[in-house]
Structure 1
Amino acid sequence: MGSGMPIANISNKLTTLTSLTIRKISGLVSLPEGMLKNNKNLTYLGIGDCQELTRIASPDVVCSCALLESVRISNCPILAYLPDGLLTTSLKKLVVQNCNGIQLLPVTQALPSLCKLEITGCQELSSLPSGLDYYISLQELAISNCDMLTSVLIHSPPSLRKLSIFCCNRKPESVPSLLDFTCLRELIIADSPGLTSLPIRLESCSSLEVLKISKLPNVESIPSLDNLTNLHELKIFCCDGLKSLPNGLAITSCLTHLKTLEIGGFWKELDSFPAFQVTSQLETLKLWGWPKLKSLPEQIQHLTSLTCLEVESFDGMEALPEWLRNLTSLKYLDIRGCKNMMYLPTLEAMQCLTKLKRIFILACPLLKERCNKENGSEWPKISHIPLIEDKCWCGELIEEKVSLPHSLQPTAYSLQLNLFHFLLSNEIRLASEQVEPVKDLHKLHQWIENQGLIQTAGTNAPRPNGGALEFF
């Protein structure tokens, strides 16, 4: 919408709203007084991409929103603050994204209903709301790209189950502690060059089920994982300063429930992969290499329950090992970014993988050429596999796995979205003329938008390109 004036003209006529979304209105400095004051049953408020917005509304007007349950404010660069009255006792979800002018969140009362707090891209924010440990319902806290925020984990909300920290570019003033995070189920720390160490007392989080540590170039060690016996998903990758794996994974493994493991991308001077031991019940394994590695770690040949194996960035490796034949449960094999890879295991070894449904080769130019259907020397080794892919069309939903509505799960699966690798591989390709249209794709796009996620590209019909969608 071009101007804020039409909103002022109609605001007095709206009195029964329960949900209000305002986006891309130029010239809007503040919401019209009647917009919030006259809609006392408002439970959702979303404001986005309003470049001139300096305040939401006057304090006395905002106080009328006593039933608000969800607030999302995004891409309002000169918005200076959130009014205290907007943060009501009924508030369950607060998301603030890319509001560079906000320096603090003025919470003067307890928020007993708040379940999720997400703060992203608020460059001037210097501290989190005080009293987080009194937010008895807070289950999810996500902090990303807030460079002035020099202390994150100064509170321990008693009910917190998921903690995510991304894009921490400055070194914290103090090393935080996880001692009292007794209910924490998922911890993600990623893309943070400012961190030189992980929070202390990680080992005390015995309830952790998911731990993801990635892209921390200045972290040189990781605390022991011995006590994290409930972990079923563990990821430690692209940490350039790491020379060894932590106790609990390095020599003897206490992680008896582990089903998914992603490790590698460590100190580039290591000549071999750090020792690790995992339960034979592991189902999914991804290994990141580095130029000096010439082979895969041999211990993985004993992981007979493995159904998915992915190897990436093993530039020094020319061939996959013959012992791959031992992975008789393998269904999916992905090979990515191995620029000198030329050979698969022998035909006999590949035929031992009777359950293999798909092989995916991306950014491996030599291997791709040898697997050419027309005259490739490696083609006979894979010709029996039902699905062979060598292009990343638009790939899996980004690394953060999102729970899709049940009705959309088949759609998401057939799309095989992998936006993460699509963007990072620098191999953006045109979609094939033979791509089949996917039924109800528009529903998936709508669901993604409702979740506040970013869409990059999509199509619902065969055509030369994927049809770039608007970034928002």
Structure 2
Amino acid sequence: MAEGALIIVVEGIIGQLGKLLANKVVQEIGQLWGVKAKLERLKSTVSTIEAVLLDAEEQQAHNHTIKNWLGKLKDALNEADDLLDDFSTEVSRREVMNRNKKAKKVRIFFSKSNQLAYGRKMGHKIKTIREKLDNIAEERKFHLEARPRETQWISSVPCSIGKLKHLRYLDLSHNNHIKMLPNSITRLHNLQTLKLSCCRALKELPRDFYNLVNLRHLVMDGCDGLSHMPHGLEKMTNLQTLSKFVLSKKTGSVSGLTCVLKELHGLRGDLEISNLRHGKDGALESNLLKENHLQSLTLDWLEEDIDEADIGYDEMSLEALQPHPNLKRLSIRNNGGVRFPSWLPSLTNLVELTLSHQKKWRHLPSLVNFPSLEYITLVSLDSLENISEMEWQSLSRLRELDLIALPNLVSIPAGIQHITTLQTLSISRCPIPLERCKRETGEDWPKIAHIPMLEGETLWQGTIWAVIQASITKRNTEETQA
């Protein structure tokens, strides 16, 4: 096995153990014959091996003893991987039974007696493989350097990863030097979870990526270097998590997004769509997201100059991306329209709202429509006029408010003093005179005096400068009296 491949197997096992331990079905079975405790001990054993594995893989080229030890370890880890794969399959079957109470045969299979038998059998197998791994670990008579898990980065994924046919969970997150994944990874037909978070150098996914037909979770937040998505994602109908979709900057790229959103109706969790195009080339069909039950949605248009003729197309594209009304977090950036979409006021369950670089929006939807809002961020809304006092008063749950680069904001918004839940207020690059925010004496100080955390250069300078002045005055008074 190529250097780096074994550590990928280990991380996959640890990830799969974590998912199993958190699963409700496993917790039910885990009460029988101590299966859960045995899984936890197995995870501890594998984590201990993982700590020295990178050093062992580096030394094996010139140390025959270490090479033989790794060979034994590889066989045992593959055995553990197969065992967990079988266990995960049975857990999935139980989950199906829970959703289909009429499936009598499945109910019989997982009756109390069968649960006892299965729990005893699985507990014995887990104990056996853990003891085998413990024995191999104890055979190590040579020194290996234990390295913290977070430093075990890899610069490339070996092509041999395609041989791990039973792999179901793969986490490559935070490997900042990976630029491409080998096409052999598309042979992992049992893979269900692929995590690539913060692989910032990753440029593209393999061309045959759609062959991962059983993939359920594709996590790519923080993959800022991605230039486009591969063709055929719409064939991956088992996908439940697609955290990022990057459009190519080439003309006609929206067709791929349209196909994917039309076919993937089971999307959950977070979705960020970036490089949305302006103008006619970026026009989208209606109701592409309405059937998905997303919790978080980020819509990011290309940062470029917009012609007046493109304004209407940008508004239509934004209108077409209407999410499910249960959405919790929404971020809109760089859309060239002059007004907010008609569906925005319907998102009454929003907890977090970010509006950034909407240069032509003069008004926001009534804040009364968002009783659950806890976090608001407004950035570079060049045309935005002040929001009325009554609007701010309606935000009875607001915890944090960030106001950045709002050229028309010349004073602290009236009504903020009534938001008793507000914990943090940050104001930056807004034309609010420093004197208005000075502690105790500033005209706007009564509006912000109750807020525990004040951030941003205007508020910071205003409050700190007042403290400094008070300190100087006190010192001068003491010196005079002396």
Q: TM-score over 0.5 for the alignment?
A: yes
Q: d(CA) in 1 for partners of 2:239 and 2:395?
A: 36
Matched, 1:183 2:269: no
Is 2:227 the partner of 1:127? no
Is 2:196 the partner of 1:162? no
The aligned residue for residue 266 of structure 1 is 358
> Is the 2:295–2:327 contact (alpha carbons within 8 Å) kept by the matching residues of 1?
yes
1:60-209 equivalence runs, <5 A: 66=82, 76-77=154-155, 81-86=159-164, 88-95=165-172, 97=175, 98-100=177-179, 102-111=181-190, 114-118=192-196, 120=199, 121-123=201-203, 125-127=205-207, 129-135=209-215, 138-142=216-220, 144-145=223-224, 147=226, 149-151=228-230, 154-155=233-234, 157-158=236-237, 160-165=239-244, 170-171=249-250, 172=253, 174-176=255-257, 177-189=260-272, 192-193=274-275, 197=282, 201-209=287-295
2:392 match: secondary structure: helix
Q: Following the alignment from structure 2 to structure 1, what is the Cα–Cα distance between the partners of residues 324 and 172?
A: 30
Using the size of structure 2 for normalisation, the TM-score is 0.54
Unaligned runs of 5+ in 1: 8-15, 44-61, 377-472
Paired with 2:69 and 2:210, the residues of 1 have a C-alpha distance of 30
Question: How far 1:158 sits from its partner (Å)?
Answer: 4.8
- 2:432 paired residue number: 341
| Distance change in 2, residues 1:334/1:34 (3 Å) | farther
The 8 Å contact of residues 330 and 354 in structure 2, kept in 1 or not, is answered as: yes
CA positional deviation for 1:227: 5.6
Deviation at 1:248, TM superposition (A): 0.8
Specify the alignment match of 2:142 in structure 1.
none
Residues 224/155 of structure 1: CA separation in 2 closer, same or farther (3 Å cut): closer
Deviation digits for residues 296-338 of structure 1 (CA, Å, limit 9, x no counterpart):
333732524142222122244221133334x333322412322
Q: Which has the higher contact order (CA 8 A, sep 6+)?
A: 2
CA RMSD of aligned residues (A): 4.7
Match of 1:452 in 2: none
- After TM superposition, the structure 1 stretch with the greater mean CA deviation from structure 2, 293-302 or 344-353, is 344-353
**In the TM superposition, what are the counterparts of 1:423-462 in structure 2 within 5 Å?**
none
Match of residue 392 from structure 2: 301
Q: Give % identity.
A: 13
Task: Check the 8 A contact 2:167/2:188 in 1, yes or no.
Answer: no
Q: CA deviation at 1:262?
A: 1.9
1:193: Cα distance to partner?
A: 4.2
User: As a proportion of its length, which structure holds more strand?
Assistant: 1
**Distance in 2 between the 1:189 and 1:81 partners?**
29
Distance 2:351 2:452 in 1: 20
What SS does the aligned partner of 1:222 have? Answer: helix
Contact 1:37–1:65 (CA<8 Å) still a contact in 2?
no
**Shift of residue 373 of structure 1?**
1.7
Which residue among 50, 53, 58 is the counterpart of 1:20? 50
- TM-aligned CA deviation for residue 257 of structure 1: 1.9
- Give the match's secondary structure for 1:188: strand
Identify, as 1 or 2, the structure richer in helix: 2
Question: CA–CA distance in 2 between the matches of 1:67 and 1:334?
Answer: 52
Q: Secondary structure at the match of 2:230?
A: coil
Aligned positions, number: 333
Equivalent-residue separation in structure 2 for 1:230 and 1:125 (angstroms): 31
Change over 3 Å in CA distance of 1:347–1:264 after alignment to 2: same
* One-letter code aligned to 2:72: N
Task: Determine if contact 2:372/2:397 at 8 Å carries over to the other structure.
Answer: yes
| Alignment CA distance shift 1:360-1:242 (3 Å) | farther
d(CA) in 2 for partners of 1:226, 1:194? 15
Q: Which amino acid aligns with 1:229?
A: P
